[in-house]
């Protein structure tokens, strides 16, 4: 089997420059901002430490702005990541964990890996889910 690596996720936005400013404000690396034609503009940014980037722009997708929901961002410290995003100007919800399928306020009581989460949105309403992973499951 040939390796297949997830390289880019397209995020539908209504205002390319506003989205670019938002993600750059979160300290995501700007990889590209190119317009090879009148009907095409590609902006690509990469979250710190990620091997996968996001793209948005003009002529990339027919999806409605704000329709990218619950895209995971894995972090090793949920509280530190949340604070950093808030300091950068993002509105981040409270940290939560799940019990019996329900969201419960606060981090996982035992701080189990894969157990704590927080959400934030970009200006178009595309949502991101932070998930704290401190130790990968076997085989990962």
Domains with residue ranges and CATH for the chain: 8-132 (3.10.180.10)
- Position of tokens 């949920």? 78
**Please, which pLDDT band fits residue 138 given cuts at 50, 70 and 90?**
confident
Collect all residues with Cβ–Cβ distance below 8 Å to 13 and sequence separation of at least 6.
19, 56, 65, 122, 123, 124, 126
- Supply the DSSP symbol for 75: E
Does the pLDDT at position 137 exceed 90?
Answer: no
User: How large is the C-alpha radius of gyration of the chain?
Assistant: 16
The average pLDDT across 73-86 equals 97
Does the pLDDT at position 140 exceed 90?
Answer: no
User: In terms of C-beta density within 10 A (0-12 exposed, 13-18 middle, 19 or more buried), how is residue 80 classed?
Assistant: exposed
Q: Give the three-state DSSP class for 128.
A: strand
The average pLDDT across 60-65 equals 97
Collect all residues with Cβ–Cβ distance below 8 Å to 140 and sequence separation of at least 6.
none
**Please, which pLDDT band fits residue 66 given cuts at 50, 70 and 90?**
very high
Q: What is the pLDDT of residue 12?
A: 98
């Amino acid at each position: 089997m040939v390796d297949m690596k997830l390289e880019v996720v397209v995020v539908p936005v209504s205002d390319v420059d506003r989205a670019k400013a938002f993600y750059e404000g979160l300290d995501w690396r700007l990889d590209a901002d190119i317009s090879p034609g009148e009907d095409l503009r590609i902006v690509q940014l990469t979250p710190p430490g990620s091997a996968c980037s996001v793209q948005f722009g003009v002529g990339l997708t027919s999806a409605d702005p704000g329709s990218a929901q619950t895209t995971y961002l894995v972090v090793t410290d949920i509280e530190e990541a949340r604070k950093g995003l808030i300091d950068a100007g993002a509105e981040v919800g409270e940290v939560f964990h799940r019990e019996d399928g329900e969201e419960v306020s606060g981090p996982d009581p035992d701080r189990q890996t894969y157990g704590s989460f927080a959400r934030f949105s970009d200006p178009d309403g595309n949502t991101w889910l932070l998930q704290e992973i401190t130790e990968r499951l076997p085989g990962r």
